[in-house]
Amino acid sequence: MKRHIPNAITSLNLFSGSVGVVASLSGYWYLAFWMMIVASIFDFFDGMTARLLNVSSPIGKELDSLADMVSFGFLPAVIMFSMLSNSYNLPLLRLQGFLFIPYFAFFIAIMSAIRLAKFNLDVRQNENFIGLPTPANALFIGGLSLITHFLCHCSPISHFIGNAYTLLALTFIFSILLVVELPLLSLKFKNLNFRDNLWRYLLVFGSIIIAITFVYWIYMAVSIIILYYIFLSIVWNMFKSKQ
């Protein structure tokens, strides 16, 4: 019985992502964002449970990637599609009456699939990630959608983020980050020694400070934390290259 528990948790990840897709297409972006958060929690606990129960299996690994493709690949693409469809300055480029610019959002889904396939085969990612993890990318986009939705439409930030050209640029930049050969920090602590884990502690404490600062705008905090994570990883790479 216990060998089925991790896969059941993974299935809840998939269920949460599926609900998020429907919520996003129905205009319930807040629900879509929280379904993504719930999916992230299940994604964290399925692997942990498999290790604790010593029931890791090849089918569990494959199921995890399939669930992640929906929750952190297709769902953020659908959210970006909805954002582009409702964006400012959307180029009205049509092909036989078909407005196709918003469909560039599904570049996110394509690159997420490539990212997940690479992650399953890449043995270099035991300690740190290479390329942006799909949950981080998804949470950034989910938080971004609520920033545009809840901020006053007269706000310069709302106008900048809600601009079609900004959204297209973010779509391509973050899609490329998914597959680029850039090492990024992970929170895989081998020990609690401060010196050995300095950059991980900077990531944890910095994220806590951001979350406390934006406690009443948690969706904004999520996107800022992901940007901080990318920035800190780039600085970490620069320090590593000098050494």
Structure tokens at 155: 């706000």
Domain that holds residue 36: 2-242
Tokens of 69: 């493709």
Q: Which pLDDT tens digit goes with each residue over 146-187?
A: 888 777 666 777 778 888 999 999 999 999 999 998 889 888
In single-letter form, the type of residue at position 102 comes to: P
Q: Which residues pair with 94 in a beta bridge?
A: 99
- CATH number for the domain spanning 80: value is 1.20.120
Does pLDDT of 226 surpass 80?
A: yes
Collect all residues with Cβ–Cβ distance below 8 Å to 40 and sequence separation of at least 6.
71, 72, 135, 138, 139
Computed over every residue of the chain, the mean pLDDT equals: 87
pLDDT digits (tens, 9 = 90+) for 135-152: 999 999 999 998 887 776
Q: What is the mean pLDDT of residues 198-217?
A: 91
Q: Where are the beta strands (DSSP E) in 65-190?
A: 94-95, 98-99, 129-130, 183-184
> Distance between CA 61 and CA 137 in Å, rounded?
20
57-84 average pLDDT score: 90
CA distance between the termini of the chain: 50
Looking at the structure of the chain, the number of domains it has is 1
In angstroms, the CA 205 to CA 100 distance is 42
Reported pTM: 0.89
185 contacts 211 by C-beta, under 8 angstroms: no
What amino acid occupies position 32? Answer: A
Q: What percentage of the chain exceeds 70 in pLDDT?
A: 93
